[in-house]
Copies of this chain bind each other. A is one copy, B any other.
């Protein structure tokens, strides 16, 4: 039975959702999720909070791959610039720990989790709870991060690649992996 874990990230300059989902055979399990609140400090210190917290989650949960939401914004460039800062340090945290990072659009994520690209935020939270057998709905940013991880697991190509990575990982389990 193929078992592997995926880290999902929903970056934001104030709140970044982080979630880890485990795939065992045909089943999905919730490993960890949280809303990283970057605080009210200057941008630099907010970025440091996001970066350090994502690195800590990777250390604790040992995912085999990561997925992050693609951003399409017709909105204002200043908001895109600030969101880019948060997304940049999130990507960096994953890449520096050796994780390949896949990107999915909001449409792809909603389709994977709810079955419809037009799904609302509440539907995503509800379906994440159901798919992962959680006893309560995760908060919105955490749910979006978990949904992103689920989307990656459902993507055949990703799953194939990750199963291979997990097997390689299992083979080297005797080695130090500090």
Contact = CB atoms under 8 A, between A and B. Distances in A.
Interface centre among A44, A45, A48, A83 (most CB of B within 10 A): A44
A65 B48 CA distance: 17
A75 interface: yes
B81 A87 contact: yes
**Copies of this chain present:** 2
- The contact size tier of chain A is 20 to 34
Interface stretch (A91-99, A120-128, A136-144): A91-99
A10 to B, nearest CB: 15
A25 interface: no
A108 to B, nearest CB: 18
Nearest to A52: B96
A161 B48 CA distance: 23
A130 interface: no
B85 A51 contact: no
Interface string A72-111: 1111111111111111110110111000010000000000
A18 interface: no
Contact of A96 (B48, B81, B91): B48
A45 B98 CA distance: 10
Nearest to A44: B95
Contacts of A47: 88, 91-92, 95
A116 interface: no
Contacts of A88: 47, 84-89
7 contacts: A47-B88, A47-B95, A51-B92, A51-B96, A80-B84, A81-B81, A83-B84
